[in-house]
């Protein structure tokens, strides 16, 4: 599995997202904490998942707290280490000539059994240090809990659903419980707006994490955990799954895409439109393949939705918006909604780039101006488990995408043509 | 020794009790205490301690190889040296092995061998239970590792978070082996905890009040109490998991109203005291080593004891710091953040007391001392990174990254394991009658220390750069490659360090055989009672019951103060130490039944996993073990102990004969 992609940076936006100079400066701070070598690290490659390169006010506050505590820790370490080295030099005695006698007789240092004042002193000292650390910790903790989302925000909240091994984002733009936009692996957000998240899972525990923007929040099945996220700058911010979730735990990426408020509205209007039956002949043939092979798991708004729910006992409502999928297919009952597949920059749990030139094209123009990464997409369609381990053939129920090796190359071509109409 | 008596019992009438009621056949207790077969039936705490040590080192190699496999896999971006499935099994078993099959039994090795000696007893309180503990642990360890050949090892992580470990999401047998294997090993810990607590509380030499016990004994006592209360919690959790997986219960099944967070709470209420179970033995060891090689008493003895107890208590109130990102809510997070910070206080007190012990001392940096000082510095790094984890907001960034992998390896490797190695070098002459080679020892220490820092130091950086743990691979573009290569290189340096230790064991033994040096009882001018008897320790430990006046009593028998206040030698250890020549000591007889009983448990495990029919042979074996244990004579007068050549006719009344253990005494 070497197909993971270059994580940061679309087009014009990525320059503001990267700011390499601050990376280096902040990383040196982190390195001092690690007690490692700053020189070596500064020479390292860019690390897009860096926890010490904050791009949002939240991440920045966390980072400042960490650096402060880290400095205290480094000072304490230097004092202890210094004491040990000093004593090792000053008080060491040479080994005796005769190994059978460990010390020369009666060469004793002063036999001090203790000193109550000192003991009280060095009980109070760490207590005071810890109290100071605790003061700032609790301050930050409750401050971060105090969300500053505005009342007239564009997004009421986003429900984040972890699933083996991809992420679903359900946007709620109004107050009802039905999601207005359902997408996968890429959370497109207007820059500078703190967004409420409800984090949950359909199967096992995952963890939602975009290091540049905020810490982690576990996605626990049966619970919704509140969290917030704010894209503090334009750009693509990657995040890994960080709660061990089985086979492809390492291949479950998600991205926050920070765009301007206006761009976000354009994006959202497009996402809310239904998918349509294509007019192009190849794509039309692809739609037929899709409805025969793919539609029992993947939803296309307006195409695979059934309006007559009574007619389909074996189907159940997926994501609450009258989108129905086959109960029998997946353990979780869900697969990524592909209504606007071609508008995304990645697929397969965010690990493969859908377009080869995502760094050069504006995110909103990808469907039009992107160079399709056709080989990877076709490989994924014909044999997904080979591209990324999953449990499609598990005796306890399918988890992950089935291989479709029986598809003819024409079928695959048609399918890709159809998928590319889903912009 | 609380329980002593003259043997044979002399009745008031003067009539001599004769033992002619020996049972026959299988219920005869085994006789031999020499030869390889004797190891299977021994109830001698020293032999059991050695077996724990050998067993833990054996599994240390297992866990080490698993670590190297992980590091080979991560040495290149996008590597496929291990498949995802195998990688998950290997890192799960690395954690399970190192915690349950290496550090815990290694601590048990020291506890078993040394606690009775340090409190001046002849054995533990319940010698057969002690043997049962060891065989149970070994049975659990073997059972766990047979999973490799029976459908795959556990693959849900050592922490086994539900519901990823449910039958739906982990349909193989691996997690069954995990749940049942740890259950069996847990029985060992629990039984052993009770045994050692009773030993320390009831069997101390006359005069040894609690506050005259060596620090090692104290820390081990705290550990046993932690085990006594922590093991039942994991027992319950593992039962729930087994019932979920094997009998369709729904404790953690969300669809049926179960709670995945229930598992997390149970696991960490066990799991955090477990951290102190792993580290306090090492604290105890270096609290013996540092004074000895500083030629000073431990600084602030009552504070060392008190801080150990405080850590033991506070260790129960910090578990949810493992769950800062689980969504507990800010109030819970704040509470556990605070409790976690303040557990740093007693830990800090310990570190400062060790430093104060060294201050002004005559520091002898032999290998044992080097490892002990290594613990102070390396554990301090782990402790300080632990404080950064207690800072809950920043923990949300660092948790489940390599930063935390670095943190707990600095604690468990840099603390616990280095401490045990210090203990190996320190007590080797007591156990085997010869020192370990110093030259190889230095090679062992420095390669291990450097390898350790090269391996785990850069992991701090990788974690801060955002490398998540338990990931099968990483991408070139993540920028983690260089440091991962350094880390992988370091792991092989550690392997060389471990190899140097094994070479040292062999070389030292050969040298001792070829050129036997008369090994005094007390080669380090040490302070506690185990050094007051011959090396290797005689089978009956002490020729006569020690009587204790002082803390560090043995040292006070060697050294006194003259009128000017100068320390002067009172006696040479060779002249006052027991030489092991007393043969009038009655010791508990060996027994077959601990072995039989304990090895019925893994068969029950296989029955739950594969076929309940196996319960028939398992049940027969289990019952046979119980019945045999109950019916065999508690004390077989014909049993030889090598040294027990006193006659049974009662004309030896003036000799100090001693019977060991509550078992023997209650029946005699």
pLDDT in tens, B53-87: 999 999 999 999 999 999 999 999 999 999 999 99
Instruction: Give the count of domains, chain A.
Output: 2
Contact A228/A160 with Cβ under 8 angstroms?
no
Name the β-bridge partners of A353: A346
Beta strands in B318-388 (DSSP E): none
Contact A336/A169 with Cβ under 8 angstroms?
no
Single out the residue of B378, B504, B383 nearest to residue B452, CA to CA. Answer: B378
Three-state secondary structure readout of chain A: CCCCCCCCCCHHHHHHHHCHHHHHHHHHHHHHHHCCCHHHHHCCCCCCCCCCCCCCHHHHHHHHHHHHHHHHHHHHHHHHHHHHHHHHHHCECCCCCCCCCCCCCCCCCCCCCCCHHHHHHHHHHHHHHHHHHHHHHHHHHHHHHCCCCCCCCCCCEEEEEEECCEEEEEEECCCCCCCCEEEECEEEEECCCCEEEEEEECCCCEEECCCCCCCCEEECECCCEEEEECCCCCEEEEEECCCCCCCCHHHCEEEEEEECHHHHHHHHHHHHCCCCCCCCHHHHHHHHHHHHHCCCCCCCCCCCCCCCHHHCCCEEEECCCCEEEECCCECCCCCCCCCCHHHCCEECCCCEECECCCCCCCHHHHHHHCCECHHHHHHHHHCHHHHCCCECCCCCCEECCCCCCCCCHHHHHHHHHHHCCCC
Whether B65 contacts chain A with CB within 8 A: no
**β-strand pairing of A346-347 with A323-326:** unpaired
Whether A236 is covered by a domain: the verdict is no
Tell if the CB–CB gap between B461 and A242 is shorter than 8 Å: no
Q: Give B3→chain A minimum CA distance, Å.
A: 33
Whether A22 is covered by a domain: the verdict is yes
Q: What pLDDT was estimated at residue A28?
A: 39
pLDDT in tens, B18-43: 544 555 566 777 777 778 888 999 99
Q: What pLDDT was estimated at residue A333?
A: 67
Taking the C-alpha atoms of residue A152 and residue A158, their distance in angstroms, rounded to an integer, is: 15
> Which residues of chain A are under the pLDDT cut of 70?
1-45, 98-100, 305-333
Q: What pLDDT was estimated at residue A316?
A: 63
Average pLDDT rounded to a whole number, residues B298-320: 95
Q: Report the sign of the C-alpha dihedral through residues B576, B580, B586, B590, in that order.
A: positive
Mutate to test the interface with B, among A67, A216, A223, A346 (most CBs of B within 10 A): A216
Using CB atoms, pick whichever of B349, B473, B479 lies closest to residue A123: B349
Average pLDDT rounded to a whole number, residues B96-119: 97
Q: What pLDDT was estimated at residue A402?
A: 93
CATH of the domain at A375: 1.10.760
Residue A354 is part of which domain span? 281-419
Give B-chain residues touching A394 at CB under 8 angstroms: 171
Q: What is the mean pLDDT of chain B?
A: 90
Whether B525 contacts chain A with CB within 8 A: yes
Contact B233/B269 with Cβ under 8 angstroms?
yes
Choice between B92 and A25, residue whose per-residue pLDDT is larger: B92
User: What pTM, to 2 d.p., does this model score?
Assistant: 0.90
Give B-chain residues touching A211 at CB under 8 angstroms: 397, 466
Whether A291 is covered by a domain: the verdict is yes
Give B-chain residues touching A128 at CB under 8 angstroms: none
Q: Would you give the DSSP letter of residue B97? A: I
Q: Give the largest CA-CA distance in chain B.
A: 91
Average pLDDT rounded to a whole number, residues B492-510: 97
Q: Give A15→chain B minimum CA distance, Å.
A: 17
Tell if the CB–CB gap between B358 and A107 is shorter than 8 Å: no
Tell if the CB–CB gap between A204 and B169 is shorter than 8 Å: yes
Q: Give B31→chain A minimum CA distance, Å.
A: 38
Please tell me the number of Cα atoms within 13 Å of B123 on its side-chain side: 30
pLDDT in tens, A60-102: 999 999 999 999 999 999 999 999 999 999 999 988 776 667 7
**Pair of tokens at residue B151:** 């459908």
Whether A379 is covered by a domain: the verdict is yes
Whether A414 is covered by a domain: the verdict is yes
**Pair of tokens at residue B106:** 């290694």
Tell if the CB–CB gap between A30 and B461 is shorter than 8 Å: yes
Contact A216/A208 with Cβ under 8 angstroms?
yes
Q: Give the confidence band of B10 by pLDDT, cuts at 50, 70, 90.
A: very low
Q: What pLDDT was estimated at residue B554?
A: 95
pLDDT in tens, B469-478: 999 999 999 9
Query: Counting one residue from A and one from B, how many pairs have CB atoms under 8 Å apart?
Result: 353
Q: Percent of chain B, pLDDT > 90?
A: 84
**Pair of tokens at residue B408:** 């707990």
Give A-chain residues touching B450 at CB under 8 angstroms: none
Whether B631 contacts chain A with CB within 8 A: no
To the nearest 10°, report the CA torsion of B364, B369, B374, B376: -90
Nearest CA in chain B to A73: B384
pLDDT of B532 over the 70 cut: yes
pLDDT in tens, B385-402: 999 999 999 999 999 999
Nearest CA in chain A to B254: A222
Average pLDDT rounded to a whole number, residues B196-218: 96
pLDDT of B187 over the 60 cut: yes
Whether A313 is covered by a domain: the verdict is yes
Q: What pLDDT was estimated at residue B376?
A: 96
Q: Give A337→chain B minimum CA distance, Å.
A: 23
Q: Percent of chain B, pLDDT > 70?
A: 91
Whether A378 is covered by a domain: the verdict is yes
CATH architecture of the domain with residue range B42-517:
Up-down Bundle (1.20)
Q: What pLDDT was estimated at residue A151?
A: 76
Whether A193 is covered by a domain: the verdict is no
Preceding omega of B16 cis (within 30 degrees of 0)? no
Tell if the CB–CB gap between A33 and B387 is shorter than 8 Å: no
Q: Report the sign of the C-alpha dihedral through residues B292, B293, B299, B304, in that order.
A: negative
Mutate to test the interface with A, among B172, B286, B439, B475 (most CBs of A within 10 A): B475
pLDDT in tens, B228-242: 999 999 999 999 999
Nearest CA in chain B to A41: B461
Taking the C-alpha atoms of residue B637 and residue B602, their distance in angstroms, rounded to an integer, is: 34
Q: Would you give the DSSP letter of residue B363? A: B
Q: What pLDDT was estimated at residue B611?
A: 93
Give B-chain residues touching A196 at CB under 8 angstroms: none
Please, which residues have CB within 8 angstroms of residue B366's CB and are 6 or more apart in sequence? A95, B293, B425, B438, B441
Preceding omega of A376 cis (within 30 degrees of 0)? no
Read off φ and ψ for residue A60, nearest 5 degrees: -65, -40
Tally the residues of chain B.
Answer: 668
Give B-chain residues touching A46 at CB under 8 angstroms: 479
Tell if the CB–CB gap between A243 and B391 is shorter than 8 Å: no
Q: What pLDDT was estimated at residue B30?
A: 79
């Amino acid at each position: 599995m070497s197909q993971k992609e270059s994580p940061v940076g679309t087009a014009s936006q990525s320059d503001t997202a990267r700011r390499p100079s601050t990376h280096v400066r902040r990383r040196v701070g982190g390195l001092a904490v690690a007690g490692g070598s700053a020189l070596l690290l500064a020479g390292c490659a860019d690390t897009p998942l860096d926890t010490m390169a904050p791009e949002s006010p939240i991440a920045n506050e966390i980072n400042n707290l960490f650096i402060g505590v880290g400095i205290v820790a480094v000072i304490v370490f230097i004092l202890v280490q210094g004491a040990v080295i000093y004593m090792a030099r000053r008080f060491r005695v040479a080994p005796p000539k005769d190994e059978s006698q460990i010390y020369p007789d009666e060469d004793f240092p002063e036999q001090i059994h203790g000193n109550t004042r000192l003991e009280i002193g060095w009980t109070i000292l760490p207590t005071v240090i810890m109290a100071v650390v605790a003061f700032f910790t609790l301050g930050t903790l409750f401050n971060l809990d105090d969300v500053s989302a505005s009342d007239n925000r564009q997004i009421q909240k986003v429900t984040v659903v972890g699933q083996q091994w991809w992420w679903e984002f359900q946007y709620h733009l109004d107050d009802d419980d039905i999601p207005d936009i359902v997408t996968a692996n890429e959370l497109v957000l207007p820059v500078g707006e703190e967004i409420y998240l409800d984090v949950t899972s359909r199967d096992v525990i995952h963890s939602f994490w975009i290091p540049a923007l905020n810490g982690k929040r576990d996605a626990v099945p049966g619970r919704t955990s509140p969290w917030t996220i704010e894209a503090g700058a334009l750009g693509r911010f990657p995040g890994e799954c960080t709660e061990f979730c089985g086979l492809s735990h390492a291949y479950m990426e998600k991205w926050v895409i920070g765009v301007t408020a206006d761009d976000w509205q354009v994006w959202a209007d497009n996402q809310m439109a239904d998918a349509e039956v294509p007019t192009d002949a190849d794509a039309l043939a692809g739609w037929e393949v899709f409805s025969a092979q793919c539609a029992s798991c993947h939803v296309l708004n307006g195409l695979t939705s059934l309006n007559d729910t009574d007619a389909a006992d074996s189907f159940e409502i997926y994501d609450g918006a009258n989108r129905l999928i086959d109960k029998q297919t997946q353990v979780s009952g869900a697969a990524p909604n592909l209504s606007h597949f071609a508008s995304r920059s990645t697929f397969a749990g965010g690990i493969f780039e859908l377009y080869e030139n995502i760094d050069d094209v504006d995110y909103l123009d990808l469907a039009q101006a992107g160079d399709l990464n056709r080989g990877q997409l076709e490989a994924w369609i014909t044999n997904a488990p080979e591209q990324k381990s999953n449990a499609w053939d598990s005796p306890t129920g399918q988890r992950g995408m089935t291989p479709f090796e029986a598809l003819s190359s024409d079928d695959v071509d048609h399918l890709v043509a159809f998928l590319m109409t889903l912009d | 020794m609380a329980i002593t008596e003259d043997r044979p019992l002399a009745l008031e009438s003067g009539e001599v009790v004769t033992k002619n009621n020996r049972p026959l056949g299988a219920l005869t207790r085994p006789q031999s205490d020499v030869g390889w077969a004797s190891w299977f039936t021994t109830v001698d705490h020293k032999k059991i301690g050695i077996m724990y040590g050998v067993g833990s080192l054996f599994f240390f190699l297992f866990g080490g190889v698993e670590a190297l496999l992980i590091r080979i896999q991560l040495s290149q971006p996008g590597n496929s040296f291990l498949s995802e499935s195998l990688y998950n099994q290997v890192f799960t078993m690395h954690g399970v092995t190192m915690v349950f099959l290496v550090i815990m039994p290694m601590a048990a090795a020291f506890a078993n061998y040394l606690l009775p000696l340090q409190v001046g007893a002849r054995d533990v309180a319940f010698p057969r239970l002690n043997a049962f503990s060891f065989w149970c642990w070994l049975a659990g360890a073997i059972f766990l590792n047979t999973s490799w050949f029976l459908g795959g090892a556990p693959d849900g992580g050592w922490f086994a978070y539900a519901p990823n470990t449910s039958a739906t999401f982990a349909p193989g047998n691996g997690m069954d082996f995990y749940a049942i294997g740890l259950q069996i090993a847990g029985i060992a810990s629990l039984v052993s905890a009770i045994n050692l607590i009773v030993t320390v509380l009831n069997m101390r030499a006359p005069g040894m009040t609690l506050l005259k016990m060596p620090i090692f004994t104290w820390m081990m006592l705290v550990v046993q109490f932690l085990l006594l209360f922590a093991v039942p919690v994991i027992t319950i959790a593992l039962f729930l998991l087994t019932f979920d997986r094997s009998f369709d219960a729904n404790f953690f099944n969300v669809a049926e109203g179960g709670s995945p967070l229930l598992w997390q709470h149970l696991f960490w209420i066990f799991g955090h005291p477990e951290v102190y179970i792993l580290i306090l033995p090492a604290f105890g060891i270096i609290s013996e080593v540092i004074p000895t090689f500083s030629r000073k008493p431990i600084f602030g003895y009552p504070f060392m004891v008190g801080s150990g107890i405080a850590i033991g208590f506070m260790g129960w109130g910090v578990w949810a710091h493992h769950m800062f990102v689980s969504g507990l809510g800010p109030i819970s997070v704040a509470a556990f953040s605070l409790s976690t910070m303040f557990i740093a206080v007693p830990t800090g007190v310990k570190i400062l007391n060790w430093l104060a012990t060294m201050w002004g001392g005559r520091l002898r940096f032999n290998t044992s001392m080097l490892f002990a000082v290594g613990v102070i510095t390396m554990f301090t790094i782990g402790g300080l990174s632990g404080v950064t984890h207690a800072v809950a907001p920043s923990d949300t960034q660092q948790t489940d990254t390599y930063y935390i992998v670095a943190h707990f390896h600095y604690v468990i490797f840099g603390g616990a394991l280095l401490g045990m190695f210090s203990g190996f070098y320190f007590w080797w002459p007591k156990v085997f009658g010869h020192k370990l080679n110093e030259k190889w020892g230095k090679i062992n220490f420095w390669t291990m220390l450097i390898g350790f820092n090269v391996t785990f130091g850069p992991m701090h950086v990788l974690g801060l750069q955002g490398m998540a743990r338990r990931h099968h691979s990483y991408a070139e573009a993540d920028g983690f490659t260089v440091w991962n290569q350094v880390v992988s290189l370091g792991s092989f340096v550690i392997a060389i360090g471990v190899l140097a230790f094994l070479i040292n064991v062999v070389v030292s033994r050969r040298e001792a055989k070829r050129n036997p040096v008369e090994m005094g009882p007390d080669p380090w001018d040490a302070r506690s009672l185990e050094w007051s008897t011959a090396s290797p320790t005689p089978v009956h430990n002490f020729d006569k019951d020690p009587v204790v006046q002082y803390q560090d009593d043995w040292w006070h028998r060697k050294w006194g103060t003259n009128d000017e206040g100068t320390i002067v030698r009172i006696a040479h250890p060779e002249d006052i130490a027991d030489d092991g020549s007393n043969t009038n000591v009655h010791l508990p007889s060996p027994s077959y039944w601990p072995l039989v009983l304990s090895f019925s448990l893994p068969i029950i495990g296989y029955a739950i996993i594969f076929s309940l029919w196996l319960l028939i042979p398992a049940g027969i074996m289990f019952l046979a073990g119980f019945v045999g244990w109950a019916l065999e004579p508690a004390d077989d007068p014909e049993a030889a102990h090598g040294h027990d050549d006193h006659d049974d006719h009662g004309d030896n009344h003036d000799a100090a004969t001693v019977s060991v253990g509550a078992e023997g005494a209650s029946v005699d």
